[in-house]
């Protein structure tokens, strides 16, 4: 059914290797024959079989990326960065969604490893030991989590979250909520620790609630806790939770930022879309994606890549959801 190199060769009256050459290194073949071959290729609709090519080259010319939830606006920017950079290096990108814990994340990574030259795993949820084992065998780069002995691109949320606390303090807020993310989340650990440290440092009382899943619904639920707490400022684990929070506050007639100031983390598309626009900690997703691909590319170019951890810094972006403390 499918047209092969041999079919084209037969049609033109040359050998398969000549056709192969005509396609991969056209200058190594007689212009005359090349013409004929090209014509036949066109006419017969020949398409090289990627699988066969991979089998003896060992290269797949694709790289994979696994994220916990494509519906979470944090990930698409990373994916897009990866795609852009990978395209420039001649790789396709295969995306896979582990659907948070529901699916077998490790299984997905293995699956992708078979089909690509290397895999980028973003915010992995799995057991660190298992991830380390896998990383030792395969070409893997982690984003947003530090796995021992592997290559990690880390987004240091701490800096931005610290700035968020300082920002609220400067506006006069003295009682601030931190809405925690998933208990097992590495990002949450970093963010919470930074919030605590900064609160301590500048002299702000920090009230913590959670854990919450990174979903709007969780923010809705959190809103009532926040109001009851008497806090005038909130730092949410991420923009989704912050958005849900703001939605519910609006419902209850609580003004943002009039009564309560709200800060998210991720600086995702949501932050510009919500109302009021959301002050948020900007996370360098784009850089993270590009950096990961660059490292992977070195690896694939045959260079030895040492285990390493690259830190990318975050920064607070002030928008409409934060203002003076009302009292």
CB nearer a second copy, residue 157 or residue 238: 238
> Residue 136 CB, nearest distance to DNA (Å)?
19
CB nearer a second copy, residue 16 or residue 94: 94
Tell me which of DNA, a second copy, none is bound by residue 247, counting a contact when its beta carbon lies within the kind-specific cut-off of 5 to 8 angstroms.
a second copy
> Residue 112 CB, nearest distance to DNA (Å)?
17
Chain residues binding DNA by CB under 7 A are: 2, 4-6, 13-18, 20-21, 23-24, 27-34, 46, 48-49, 52-53, 55-58
> Residue 90 CB, nearest distance to DNA (Å)?
14
Question: Rounded to the nearest 5 degrees, what angle is found at the Cα of 153, between the Cα atoms of 151 and 156?
Answer: 140
> Residue 317 CB, nearest distance to a second copy (Å)?
16
Q: Measuring CA to CA, how many Å separate 69 from each of 72, 131, 187?
A: 6, 18, 15
Q: Measuring CA to CA, how many Å separate 221 from each of 2, 176, 231?
A: 56, 17, 16
Chain residues binding a second copy by CB under 8 A are: 45, 47, 49-52, 54-55, 60, 62, 69-71, 73, 76-77, 79-80, 83, 87, 92-97, 99, 103, 108, 110-112, 114-115, 137, 215-217, 220, 240, 243-244, 247-248, 250-251, 269-270, 272-275, 277
Pairing of strands 140-143, 118-122: parallel
Q: Measuring CA to CA, how many Å separate 190 from each of 3, 5, 68, 108?
A: 55, 55, 18, 26
Tell me which of DNA, a second copy, none is bound by residue 105, counting a contact when its beta carbon lies within the kind-specific cut-off of 5 to 8 angstroms.
none
Q: How far apart are CA 110 and CA 131, in angstroms?
A: 11
User: Which candidate, 19, 279, 61, places its Cα nearest to that of 163?
Assistant: 279
CB nearer DNA, residue 30 or residue 309: 30
Q: How far apart are CA 33 and CA 40, in angstroms?
A: 11
The residues that bridge with 62 in the sheet, in sequence order, are 92
CB nearer DNA, residue 36 or residue 99: 36
Establish how many alpha carbons lie within 13 A of residue 237's alpha carbon, considering only the half-sphere containing its beta carbon: 29
> Residue 206 CB, nearest distance to a second copy (Å)?
26
């Amino acid at each position: 059914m499918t047209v092969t190199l041999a079919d084209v060769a037969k049609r033109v009256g040359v050998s398969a290797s000549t056709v192969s050459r005509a396609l991969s290194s056209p200058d190594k073949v007689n212009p005359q024959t090349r013409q004929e071959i090209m014509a036949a290729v066109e006419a017969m609709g020949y398409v090289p079989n990627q699988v066969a090519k991979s089998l003896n080259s060992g290269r797949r010319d694709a790289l994979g990326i696994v994220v916990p939830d494509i519906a979470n606006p944090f990930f698409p920017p990373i994916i897009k960065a990866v795609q852009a950079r990978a395209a420039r290096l001649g790789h396709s990108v295969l995306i896979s969604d582990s659907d948070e814990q529901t699916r077998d994340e490790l299984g997905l990574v293995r699956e992708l490893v078979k089909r690509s030259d290397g895999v980028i795993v973003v915010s992995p949820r799995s057991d660190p030991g298992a991830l380390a084992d896998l990383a030792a065998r395969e070409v893997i780069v982690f984003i947003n989590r530090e796995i021992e002995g592997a290559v990690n691109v880390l987004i240091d949320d701490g800096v931005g979250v610290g700035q968020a606390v300082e920002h609220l303090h400067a506006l006069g807020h003295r009682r601030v909520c931190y809405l925690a993310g998933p208990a097992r989340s590495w990002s949450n650990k970093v963010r919470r620790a930074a919030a605590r440290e900064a609160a301590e440092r500048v002299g702000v009382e920090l009230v913590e609630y959670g854990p919450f899943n990174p979903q709007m619904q969780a923010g809705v639920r959190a809103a009532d806790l926040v109001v009851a707490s008497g806090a005038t400022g909130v730092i949410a684990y991420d923009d989704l939770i912050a958005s849900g929070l703001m939605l519910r506050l609006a419902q209850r007639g609580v003004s943002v930022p009039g009564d309560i100031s709200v800060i998210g983390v991720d600086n995702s598309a949501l932050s510009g879309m919500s109302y009021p626009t959301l002050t948020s900690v900007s996370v360098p997703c784009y850089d993270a994606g590009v950096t990961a691909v660059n490292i992977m590319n070195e690896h694939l170019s045959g260079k030895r890549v040492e285990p390493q951890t690259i830190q990318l810094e975050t920064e607070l972006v002030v928008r409409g959801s934060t203002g003076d403390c009302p009292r």
